[in-house]
Chain A
Amino acid sequence: MNPIIVDAPPAGGTMPNLLSRYAECTIWLARYMERIENLARLIDVTETFVRSGSTVNGWESIIQINADEERFFGRHAVATEENVVGFYVTDRENPNSIASIAHAARENARALRPLISTEMWTQLNIFTNTVRGLGTTDIRSSNLSALCTRLKQECQTHHGITEGTFYRDQAWLFYIIGRNLERGDQITRLIDIKYHTLLPSVAGVGSEVDIGQWTAVLRSAAAYHAFRRVVSGEMTPGTVAGFLLKNDGFPRSLSTCLRQLHWAVGHLRTDYGLKHGYAAAERIEELRATLAEQTIKDIILRGLHEFLDWMQRELQHVQGEIAQAFWPPMEPPPAPPPAQSQSQA
């Protein structure tokens, strides 16, 4: 069952075609809002993690997950909470901070104002203004969890308003594509980094710390209760990674993301005759098949890290193919004819 099938856009080719620039901005708006939510989740869970003393390199793991080692250590000597949280929440010099991503989301939303609903813009406007106003007090550890909750909720509000007000045409499909590309990418990163940092030492398997850490991974993906409901028995790296990668009912799992991507790209082709999406659709089909054909045990056996790394690169290819299909680079403009310009002082 696909829960978003009911949102299928009005069929028929009479709709005006979407400007390429709008399609591109829509994908990025969706990606950035999803990215902020994931980052807020990650900071929140890491804070819990570190507070409970269950990790030694908790704050560093966020740096690893985003592959920001070079940028971070170019600016800070040590990965203390203060440094890392500042770097990822308020630091405008860091393009991967919530402040920078929110700014980028806002710029895309500004470009999309003719297209998106007033409610979407107003909420984004207030939200991004709030983020812009965040200061050192807001990210103090006593306020951090509350801040993360607020950020997460604002992103969810955005999703809700979008779901409830965004007109269902091509732009909506690009929005779904952006959201799921980002979500898929984020879930693979989360598993990748946590799998390695949490890979149990022989003595640690099944210990209380181990379980606590896997619980935290699940919680950071809002998956803990869903996992509990469907996976009985032991919480192992395999069951957790398997759930996050392959569970078809969980909205943030990789398989769900791929299914929705496939759905959206498919509708661009069937409902709007946008055949250029062919390459992306083919690739997504392959990714789905590759994921479905293997059990989590197979994946771990063949190398989980390699699989996740490959998947991230594949998702980038999907983004690239969509860009090539729907906003191909412009050919260089013809050189202006000489000396017929009228100069105006």
Chain B
Amino acid sequence: MSDLTDRDAARRAGLFVTYDTPDFFCELMNRKDIPPDSLSLVRERLLRFDLPELRQRASAAEAELYNLGITFTVYTDRDAIDRILPFDLIPHVLTAAEWDHVERGVRQRVTAINHFLWDIYHEKRILKDGIIPAELVLGNPNYRSEMEGLNVPGGVYVHINGTDIVRDGDGRFLVLEDNARTPSGVSYVIENRHMMLRVMPDLAAGLDLMPVDEYGMRLQQALAEVAPPGVIDPQVVLLSPGIYNSAYFEHVFLAREMGVPLVEGRDLVVEGGRVYMRTVAGLRPVHSIYRRLNDDFLDPQVFNRDSMLGVPGLVDAYRRGNVTIANAIGTGVADDKAVYAYMPRIIRYYLSEEPILSNVDTHICAEDEGLAYTLANLDKLVVKPVGESGGYGLIIGPHATQTELDDFRVKLLADPANYISQPVISLSVCPTLCEAGVEGRHVDLRPFAVTGRSTWVLPGGLSRVALRKGSLVVNSSQGGGSKDTWVLAS
């Protein structure tokens, strides 16, 4: 008898019988407030699934992604292996109010970044006013002197921006990183939605989700808006490194959605300071280039001479104002880790507004106050060197021994300007299908903002999930997957 009751209870609890994440914020199961009705509906619908059913649908989705070629390609000596980005069927859900907040925050941040870039490549007021140390900007490896004095159309440097956002233990949204160069992943946002509606139609039925399909159209429109002035019907192209690039699928996807040619460097030619593409009818002018190629590879005459991917003479044509490059050259200085720490001040400086989205609290050790705080709380903070990437040279206070802390204190005092410190964030989680059942896994969110004459933010964004238990790393190279992001319209 009791056995039967247990099983009944298990069936009623369904997928979430083993789900328990009391320590973390969870959008779906543990919001620490009363969820809106639409969210409760998603939760109830999910409860009706059982594990075998969900697994069956998950494997159907994986097979379909593989067959559709929604893959990134890993090359070995012998072969090209197509991998899919693991896709989790339980959506990452945001309420209308939450999205309104994120969207306004992203728009504000992108606006400030564009002001900042214009300024540092022109008058450099922010440096003269001492808001941000000049050497941090001018000595930055991503600062491009070629951009000085160049008036980019509309003052837009960052046409496509990805803002990496996390939520802490209270559900507060925090910006982890800006991606102002060539942010990727937007194709998954749209393909994940298509896949979700095919594989989980019963979960989404009748819900008022904000659509994601207009991204390509918006992007095409924005790039046409920022074409060189005076061009009536601008030719937009997407410049890709080619089929051997791991993000090639995304380039194909975007070119198709925008309805523009996907070109490689060898398809373009510069003659008389103008850019043309090689067509069966001869050379045809090109006015706006959405490039998915890093600065270094764009033009062998200016940057990396060995680059076979770029277009000789492109930078010259750009400087003459005959072509628009999106994103502009030299935007990498704005998404630099050291500059990140100054972003709240950059927002206040240019917009005279308080940041809508907070940074993770960052203490700049180059400043006395920041250094003093860091030293006093070393055992509670993450301290990172600003110049390094990939987690090198940092210390996580709560995990360090006393000896490690003491050693680090010496290093920090020797060169305080090289360090920033941040609190350890308790990242939010999402229910995720794992080997043992549905468990909580850490997620982040990358909304994409498109800027032409104005800024538009794609509702939702790329939700990445760390599939390994306890892992905070959501990168696809390190066991990360993705989820469909649902923004509830009401």
Contact = CB atoms under 8 A, between A and B. Distances in A.
Interface stretch (A19-27, A134-142, A201-209, A213-221): A19-27
Contacts of A118: 68
A336 B305 contact: yes
A17 B280 contact: yes
Contacts of A21: 264, 266-267, 278
A122 B67 contact: yes
A192 B266 CA distance: 40
Nearest to A23: B280
Contacts of B280: 17-20, 23, 170, 174, 268, 272, 274, 276, 326-327
A114 B252 contact: yes
A290 interface: no
Interface stretch (A56-64, A158-166, A312-320, A337-345): A337-345
A337 B301 contact: yes
A342 B303 CA distance: 6
Interface stretch (A105-113, A182-190, A243-251, A298-306): A105-113
A94 B280 CA distance: 32
B333 to A, nearest CB: 12
A331 to B, nearest CB: 9
A330 B265 CA distance: 12
A279 to B, nearest CB: 14
A273 B281 CA distance: 8
B228 interface: no
28 contacts: A17-B279, A18-B280, A19-B263, A19-B267, A19-B277, A19-B279, A19-B280, A20-B279, A21-B264, A21-B267, A107-B243, A110-B243, A113-B69, A114-B255, A125-B67, A125-B69, A126-B67, A174-B280, A272-B280, A334-B312, A334-B313, A337-B301, A340-B302, A341-B302, A341-B304, A342-B145, A342-B303, A344-B304
Contacts of B264: 21
Interface of B: 67-69, 141, 144-146, 242-243, 248-249, 252, 255-256, 261-264, 266-267, 269, 277-281, 284, 295-296, 300-305, 312-313
B266 A341 contact: no
Contacts of B68: 118, 121-122, 125
Interface centre among A17, A170, A274, A345, by most chain B C-beta atoms within 10 angstroms, is A17
Q: Which 6 residue pairs spanning A and B have beta carbons closest together?
A: A17-B279, A113-B252, A114-B262, A326-B280, A336-B301, A17-B281
Contact of B300 (A113, A330, A336): A336
Given A125-B68, A272-B281, A111 B243 contact: yes
B264 to A, nearest CB: 7
Nearest to A325: B280
B369 to A, nearest CB: 33
A336 B267 contact: no
B320 to A, nearest CB: 16
A330 B312 contact: no
Contacts of A340: 301-302
B96 to A, nearest CB: 32
A110 B248 contact: yes
A18 B301 CA distance: 28
Contacts of A344: 141, 295-296, 303-304
Contacts of A111: 242-243
A12 interface: no
B261 A19 contact: yes
Contacts of A53: none
A74 interface: no
A333 B300 CA distance: 11
A23 B278 CA distance: 11
Contacts of B305: 336, 341
A35 to B, nearest CB: 21
Given A114-B256, A125-B69, A342 B278 contact: no
B76 to A, nearest CB: 13
B245 to A, nearest CB: 11
Contacts of B67: 122, 125-126
A22 B300 CA distance: 24
Contacts of A122: 67-69
Nearest to B281: A17
A233 interface: no
A3 interface: no
Given A21-B264, A21-B267, 9 more contacts: A17-B279, A20-B279, A21-B266, A114-B256, A276-B280, A327-B278, A341-B304, A344-B141, A344-B304
B267 A341 contact: no
B281 A19 contact: no
Contacts of A125: 67-69
A134 to B, nearest CB: 14
A153 B154 CA distance: 54
Nearest to A103: B80
A345 B141 contact: yes
A250 B279 CA distance: 34
A23 B267 CA distance: 12
A327 B304 CA distance: 27
B267 A20 contact: yes
B490 to A, nearest CB: 32
